[in-house]
Amino acid sequence: MKKSVKKQLKKQVKKQVAKAVIGDVLKAALAASNYKAVKGELRPVTSAAMYVTIGNRNAAFINKAGTDEPNVRLITSIKPKELGLNPKNWAKTNSDREYAFSGDYATLGKSLAVAFKALYSVQKKAA
């Protein structure tokens, strides 16, 4: 088998594994975020971790996807307030470009929808 075929098979298996362990809280949040409307997609890293990409850039990192309290980090150099988000719900991490969600998980979907829409519009302006 060629290497390219093996890589494609690995990617298919990773996607199947990642889809199998997304918890109910995260499923609801991702559905409410409407990431597909801004040309976003889920890119699994492991069975419990994934990136949400918009265009070719990582917009969010999700860890512990199968639990009731997943870790969600927004990856952007733009501050949450400038994206139209409530800064109380997004705490700055050690990195210059990451903000961790620290609010109520009921508001996570709406918050991600606002962030993804703003990041998509910034990318369109830059192109």
Token pair listed for 51: 């990136």
Residue 35 per-residue DSSP state:
G
* pLDDT at residue 68, as a whole number: 87
User: Which parts of the chain have pLDDT scores under 50?
Assistant: 17-18, 20
Residue matched to tokens 């969010």: 60
Residue matched to tokens 């979907």: 109
**What is the domain partition of the chain in residue ranges?**
3-126
* pLDDT at residue 115, as a whole number: 94
